C-alpha cells in the first residue's frame, strides 16, 4: 500500500500537467483530432516556461524549448541532447518516436513570442504517431513527455557530479 501511495504522489505532475496532453493524444489514437485543436497548444511545465504541442490528423509534434539558468548546465544540456537524439537513431530504438534537436526554433513555432522561444540549449521535437500511444502506451508517453525537462535536468546534474576520468 505504501508503494501504491508513493506512485500516486509521484504521478501528480503527470495527472495535472499531462491532462491536456492526454486529451490530444487520445484524439490521435482515435484518428479524430478536432479542428479546433488543430493548432499550436502551449503547456506550462515550469514557472514562465512552456512546451508546445501541435496536433495534426496523423501525428502530434511536441516541442521543448530547453532553458537552463547556469551556463555550465546549458553546455552540458546541449551536449546531452545532441547525444540523446543520436542515440535514439540506433537499431534498438527504431520504434521510439522520432526526435530532433535544433539550435533554432522549428518552423512550427513561427508566431510564438520571443520570450517563449528563449531557449539557450536548443529545441527538442518529438513526433508522436498513433502507434506510440495505442493501448497502454498512452500512459508511458504522457509520463515521458510531461517529465522530459526534469529527465534532462537530472542527467545534466549527474554529469556535473560524476567523477572526472583522468
Tens digits of per-residue pLDDT, 24-64?
A: 999 888 876 565 555 888 887 777 788 999 998 889 999 99
Residue 79 is assigned to a structural domain of this protein? yes
- Other Cβ atoms closer than 10 A to 76: 20
What are the tens digits of pLDDT across the range 99-152? 999 999 999 998 888 888 888 899 999 999 999 999 889 989 998 998 899 899
CATH number at residue 38: 3.30.1460.20
Residue 64 Ramachandran class (φ > 0 left, ψ -120 to 50 alpha, else beta): beta
Residue 166 is assigned to a structural domain of this protein? no
Residue 81 is assigned to a structural domain of this protein? yes
Domain that holds residue 31: 2-161
* CA–CA gap between residue 133 and residue 150 (Å, rounded): 21
* CA–CA gap between residue 47 and residue 60 (Å, rounded): 24
pLDDT of residue 163: 60
Residue 61 is assigned to a structural domain of this protein? yes
Count of domains for the chain:
1
Q: How confident is the model at residue 91 (pLDDT cuts 50, 70, 90)?
A: low
Strands (E), the chain: 41-46, 49-55, 60-65, 99-102, 123-128
Amino acid at each position: 500500500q505504501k508503494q501504491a501511495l508513493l506512485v500516486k504522489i509521484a504521478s501528480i505532475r503527470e495527472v495535472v500537467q499531462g491532462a491536456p496532453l492526454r486529451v490530444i493524444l487520445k484524439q490521435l489514437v482515435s484518428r479524430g483530432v478536432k479542428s479546433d485543436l488543430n493548432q499550436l497548444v502551449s503547456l506550462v511545465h515550469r514557472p514562465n516556461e512552456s512546451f508546445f504541442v501541435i496536433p495534426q490528423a496523423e501525428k502530434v509534434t511536441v516541442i521543448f524549448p530547453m532553458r537552463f539558468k547556469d551556463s555550465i548546465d546549458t553546455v552540458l544540456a546541449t551536449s546531452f541532447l545532441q547525444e540523446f537524439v543520436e542515440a535514439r537513431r540506433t537499431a534498438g530504438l527504431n520504434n521510439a518516436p522520432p526526435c530532433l534537436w535544433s539550435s533554432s526554433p522549428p518552423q512550427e513555432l513561427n508566431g510564438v513570442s520571443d520570450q517563449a522561444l528563449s531557449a539557450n540549449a536548443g529545441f527538442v521535437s518529438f513526433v508522436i504517431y498513433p502507434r506510440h500511444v495505442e493501448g497502454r502506451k498512452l500512459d508511458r508517453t504522457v509520463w515521458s513527455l510531461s517529465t522530459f525537462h526534469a529527465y534532462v535536468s537530472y542527467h545534466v546534474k549527474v554529469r556535473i557530479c560524476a567523477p572526472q576520468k583522468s
